[in-house]
Amino acid sequence: GENVEQHPSTLSVQEGDSAVIKCTYSDSASNYFPWYKQELGKRPQLIIDIRSNVGEKKDQRIAVTLNKTAKHFSLHITETQPEDSAVYFCAPKAAGNKLTFGGGTRVLVKP
């Protein structure tokens, strides 16, 4: 099955700085690459995703970049704000509709 790793596991940034989380995966057949955000005590929610035929996608302060050759994709958050504090999960999809979730990155934005 798919092996997914996220780095770092925790990330502390000053408000206004940028944050980058990297996700590596093992299955070369993976073709969909989402990032989910989970606030404390809440359900995970999709914040951005990218398909395998696209290298980068932006949505306001967040972006995802994909390197299929190296089998990794990254979440970029610019101008971080306190409400960005949460746990972020990558969840690449290989065959079928199943997602494989990474272990999560806890982001703390310090005011």
Partner 1 sequence: NAGVTQTPKFQVLKTGQSMTLQCAQDMNHNSMYWYRQDPGMGLRLIYYSASEGTTDKGEVPNGYNVSRLNKREFSLRLESAAPSQTSVYFCASSEERQGYEQFFGPGTRLTVL
Binding site residues, partner 1, CB under 8 A: 1, 32, 34, 42-46, 49, 89, 93, 96-104
Of 92 and 109, which has the nearer Cβ to partner 1?
Answer: 92
Minimum Å distance from CB 92 to partner 1? 10
Helix or strand run (H / E) with residue 56: strand 56-59
Half-sphere exposure of 7 (CA within 13 A, CB side): 4
Minimum Å distance from CB 69 to partner 1? 22
Within 10 angstroms of residue 102's Cβ, the number of other Cβ atoms is 23
Minimum Å distance from CB 106 to partner 1? 8
Single-letter code of the amino acid located at 84: D
